[in-house]
Amino acid sequence: MSEHALSGVRILDLTQFEAGTSCTQLLGWLGADVIKIEPPGGEQSRRNRPEVPGKDAMFFLLFNANKRSVTIDLKKPEGHALFLRLAERADVVVENFAPDLMERLGLGYDRLASANPRIVLARLKGFGLSGPYHEYKSFDMIAQAMGGVMSVTGFPDREPVLCGANIGDSGAGVHMAAGIMAALIERQRTGRGQVVEVSMQEAVANLIRQRYVVHYRDGKPTPRRGNGAPPGAVPDGLYPCAPGGPNDYVYIYVQPMNQGMWEDFARAIGREDLLGDPRCVDAPTRWQHRDALNRIARAWTGARSKQQVLETLGKAGVPCGAILDTQEVLDDPHLNARGAIETIDHPTRGRFRVPGCPIRLSSGTADTTPPPLAGQHTDEVLAEVLGLGPEDLATLRAQRVV
């Protein structure tokens, strides 16, 4: 087995759904040995709106690659003891249970640290471990609401809209992964572990920092503005393309501070005459004439496919993005040329493609492995980590601990 950045780091993964599992999957992609600890039968996201009755849901499969699964009943004394033995030999425990559940299980930080002073306990919660809301439960959409992103997403004359990306869940997961790696580095100096805490609400609030520019400029809450950037840029926004399907659009953004970018745009669309047009001498003047200039841009994009527009403007140095649907993302030639789309060969769900790890290390990242079946690695892990033999495992099964 080749070595990777986090090779040798053992993580006990108690997470479920997306926020925690996206964190541990990222650590697994970077080479950590992620051991997913599940109740007998598997954690509940395996059954989250399954497409095929009796088989793991795609929701589960998308966030649990590069892990090994061990089933343990933590509510049984024998299961509790078994987990503590694993924790003695682990570097990190990650959990995103409901508030106070770890304490009710007798697995709070003090208990874990007494078994292993070097353990890092990573705790991902909707609202953190303290404060007026800390007992409240959360999901991605709750974090989006409470972190402020929904208030700035959508159009001014419509209701707030959920961000299409699960920034409450996966955004918190990425922050947690960073926190875990920082705690592991600090442990190299101190020899001791610690608690790493991430609040989903705080992660969302952190990710919308740019929206506070308008807040402080105008002295009032930032409004929704649809697809447009702050006033000043032309072109800026969505422009329709042929043949006019629901996602046949491109997003074009000509930075107002960059006169050269505007000139590149004018040349790319074959309108060199605009270079000497008095309506286009600078960004403020172009903004005053934005309706006329946007009509010119829309007429040009509307006669071309989004891929043609992307290639023409991209090669001209003008920021442009085609609106890709989920199938187009999986089929995108650039992503596939870079190996960013992985093919998973799952034992019960067959072959399917998913976006892979977006972090590239020159030393290499781990190959993506299929999400495990519930308990698939129980015998393997307990033998490898704890030295349990067949008789020990048979006893645990007879007791319904694993």
Residue in 214, 232, 231 with CA at minimum distance from that of residue 223: 214
As a whole number of angstroms, the distance between CA 135 and CA 63 comes to 26
CB 196 within 8 A of CB 123: yes
Using only the alpha carbons of the chain, give its radius of gyration.
25
> Any residues with CB less than 8 A from the CB of 34 and at least 6 apart, and which?
11, 13, 24, 25, 27, 28, 66, 67, 68
Q: Is 277 assigned a catalytic role?
A: no
Residue in 198, 133, 145, 144 with CA at minimum distance from that of residue 168: 144
> Any residues with CB less than 8 A from the CB of 210 and at least 6 apart, and which?
none
Catalytic residue among 169, 248, 367, 379: 169
As a whole number of angstroms, the distance between CA 352 and CA 80 comes to 36
> Any residues with CB less than 8 A from the CB of 74 and at least 6 apart, and which?
37, 39, 80, 83, 105, 107
Residues in the chain: 402
| Strand ranges (E), 14-104 | 33-38, 68-71, 92-95
- Cis ω before 235 (30° cut-off from 0): yes
> Any residues with CB less than 8 A from the CB of 3 and at least 6 apart, and which?
31
Residues assigned a catalytic role = 169
